[in-house]
A and B are shown apart, each in its own frame.
Chain A
Amino acid sequence: MPGKILCVVGESGSGKSMCAHALMGLLPDTIIREAGEIAYDGRNLLTLDDTGWLALRGRHIAMVFQEPMTALNPLMRVGDQIAEMFEAHNLLTPRQRKQKALQLLREVGLPEPERSARAYPHQLSGGQRQRAMIAMALALEPTVLVADEPTTALDVTTQAQILELIRDLQRRRNMAVMFITHDFGVVSDIADRVVVLQHGKVVEQGAADDVLRRPQHAYTRALLAAVPSMQPPPRAPLADRAKAVEVIGLDKTYVSGGGWFQPERRVRAANEVNFDILQGETVGLVGESGSGKSSVARLVMRLIEPDQGTVRLGDTDFTRVAGRALRKERSRIQMIFQDPFASLNPRRKVGNIIADGPIAHGTDPAVARQRAAELLGLVGLNASAMERYPHEFSGGQRQRIGIARALALEPEIIVADEAVSALDVSVQAQVLNLLEDLKTRLGLSMLFITHDLRVAAQICDRIAVMQRGAIVELKPTAALFSAPEHPYTSELLAAVPGQISSSRAA
């Protein structure tokens, strides 16, 4: 549909990317098309031969991919890669192609277009690379732009800019845009029409307003309900409790390079970081990639050593213990990791994965295994999981196993590093509920690291916002959302997609 943005939404495995690739004729040969047609300009694209596709691709239908770093050739200058678009269709002279490329780079808002054109992809930032990708896609003024999760790999503030750019270009050029995403926030910001996919089938489609506000299909409703709201729920005050964790003046600088003839590169991952967590409290650590939030989590866990500063667990100075004493103290603070596929040893059975920790601390193996079975029940899995290997479980189930492993040592504090970020939205909601529930029942304190402000709003008592290794603002959640003080906090909050519609809906 010309002049409209169509969003295709679905969870992983729903077949949304497949749609995009089919439209470009880019499906691998191993996939056999059973039936159907793609109508474009009165023709069925699926009847095209190779030369037909060559003429169509780029010229009439262009595509933007998810990960701009891998979607650009690392050995070619950005300007040349854009100029190649004209070359592919034998348009213009080489000189004109160069000029057009510059003009396009300017149009998508890249700073210093001349320099960007000469740069190699690795010399640009993620957002700049995606702008360059968009410039490339727009070069031949296509009538249809296919964008496959174009903002998923980007930080939230960059995402907001790219969405704005796509919307703006679409209006100016009156293009049709097919926008693939898993994020309902993005949908509500950008879509005119919405198609919801589940297991490769369209379960619902219609105008954006209708689908988002009056969803007909149960699946759509469930998906929408699982999106965390930006309104923090009221939380009981936690005054006059003892401190479970106290972080004082944590400093960490990464130095790389610095050989005989090379200058050193310094990255400040933690800069004078101070915060504390009360018993039973959840403190969120929020920031974009490279803000140092994961480094702080690892410093607190003593997975990396700080240059300076102290981490106290109750009365113990956790940064001063070493060797056997350190291994013993470690049981008090446990971690839940981000990637459910990398956080479990593929060659050990689930029962061992959970029981290994207690056994290392001297628990009798039989008792530890008994306890592991109970823990599996606690996180909502069957005890028969004990004898199976991690690859037999889904992402959400693996994350539950990871939680059981962390709980096995009966810790006082849990550090959750992006623990729900890799999960689909419906699974994410379940795991968040489980965490919240366990925390209350077992009286745990929690440090919750996330880039997603919506998730933070739902689970944190207080939130610390990090930028370039430093905490710029630390406040109770409700106060942070309603009255942000630091400009960076306001910027982050404003960039969260999908706020117009949720306030509209509310």
Chain B
Amino acid sequence: MSKFWRTMLRNPGGVIGLTILLLAIAIAIFGPLLFPTSPWRMVQRPFLPPFTVPGLPLGTDALGRDVLAGIIYGARVSLLVGLVSTMAALAVGIPVGALAGYFGGKVGDALMRFTEFFQTVPSFALAIVLVAILQPSIVSIVLAIAIVSWPPVARLVRGEVLSLRTREYVQAAIVTGQSHSWIIWREILPNALSPVIVLASLMVATAILLESSLSFLGLGDPNLMSWGYMVGAGRTVIRQAWWITVFPGIAILLSVLALNLIGEGLNDAFNPRLNKEGR
């Protein structure tokens, strides 16, 4: 594992990504302690440009709310939704993929048809419909994102398990009389894990994008300040006050970028062969 971290830390993209992500996590955890007032509260007159009043470096929005405070509180929502919905998607996708890949046959076919169905349905449109019908709340958003993002996990895990199942060391485990659960847990899943970890880091990024897009369309949790909501609220006044939309957008961009960089770094660290440029 130490070798793995050394490869990871030699990758400049991965290091940048990790740094940004750690910073974002720190802001999400400690930020609200520094800004104890609600991000919804009016603190100054509206449309205050950035860097004009001390204490409000990013200015105020159309209702006189502090843009910086909004961004700091938004980090919580984005990271939380990204993390929890990815966990939920993994919790569905890994078992479905592992069972379909390991046992195959009719059950596997049925599970894969089910997965394909969810993969065919346009994901963002489905997320919109789900959140709209279940009423916007942090729970319905997490649920909707998890529902649209588990199929790739299931497909990936199934593919890995299918190929690992025919590996000779798995056959060796079968002939030495190991049970199915032992083979799945000890022989197959540990070896299928690295691509899943890479995918998971990219999924957190996609989940953050999805959450911000939903909030942008007005489908965010009405009680929580989020980056997408801020962009959506600022969009009608973009001609007068560019900063209201620009800063939260940069926050989304940076966190998604960080996660993508980490995903690539992980991928390179897991597959050192692909890193070398051959002719």
- A residues with CB within 8 A of B: 28-30, 298, 301, 303, 327-328, 330-331, 333-335, 337-339, 342-348, 353, 356-357, 360-361, 402, 405, 408-409
Contact = CB atoms under 8 A, between A and B. Distances in A.
Interface stretch (B136-144, B170-178, B210-218, B242-250): B170-178
B171 A303 contact: yes
Among all A-B residue pairs, the 4 with the closest Cβ atoms: A357-B176, A343-B168, A337-B168, A327-B177
Contacts of A357: 176-178
A343 B172 contact: yes
B174 A331 contact: no
13 contacts: A29-B279, A30-B278, A327-B178, A327-B179, A334-B175, A337-B172, A342-B167, A343-B169, A345-B186, A345-B187, A347-B190, A356-B178, A360-B177
B35 interface: no
A337 B279 CA distance: 34
B169 to A, nearest CB: 4
Given A337-B168, A342-B168, A360-B182, A409 B176 contact: yes
Given A331-B176, A357-B176, A339 B168 contact: yes
A360 B173 CA distance: 10
Given A28-B278, A335-B171, A345 B177 contact: no
B175 A361 contact: no
Interface string B84-112: 00000000000000000000000000000
B273 interface: no
B187 to A, nearest CB: 6
A108 to B, nearest CB: 29
A342 B166 CA distance: 10
A303 B174 contact: yes
Interface of B is mostly: helix
A356 B174 contact: no
Nearest to A343: B168
A405 B191 CA distance: 20
B191 A347 contact: yes
Contacts of B173: 345, 356
Contacts of A405: 172, 176
B196 to A, nearest CB: 14
A298 B174 CA distance: 11
Nearest to A298: B171
A347 B174 CA distance: 17
Contacts of A333: 175
Nearest to B188: A345
Q: Which of B174, B177, B179 has the most CB of A within 10 A?
A: B177
A405 B175 CA distance: 11
Contacts of A301: 175
Nearest to A342: B168
B149 to A, nearest CB: 27
B276 interface: yes
B18 to A, nearest CB: 25
Nearest to A29: B279
Contacts of A29: 279
Interface in B190-207: 190-191
A345 B191 contact: yes
A405 B173 CA distance: 10
Interface in B224-279: 276, 278-279
B177 A361 contact: yes
Contact of A30 (B172, B174, B176, B276): B276
Contact of B169 (A327, A334, A342, A360): A342
A30 B167 CA distance: 32
Given A303-B175, A348-B186, 17 more contacts: A28-B279, A29-B279, A30-B278, A301-B175, A328-B177, A331-B176, A331-B177, A335-B172, A338-B168, A339-B168, A343-B169, A344-B172, A345-B169, A345-B173, A345-B187, A346-B191, A405-B176
Contact of A337 (B171, B176, B182, B276): B171
B270 to A, nearest CB: 12
Contact of A360 (B171, B178, B191, B279): B178
A410 B15 CA distance: 51
A344 B169 contact: yes
A477 B163 CA distance: 37
B169 A335 contact: no
Contacts of A338: 168
A377 to B, nearest CB: 20
Given A29-B279, A346-B191, A330 B177 contact: yes
B164 to A, nearest CB: 10
Q: Which of B171, B172, B176 has the most CB of A within 10 A?
A: B176
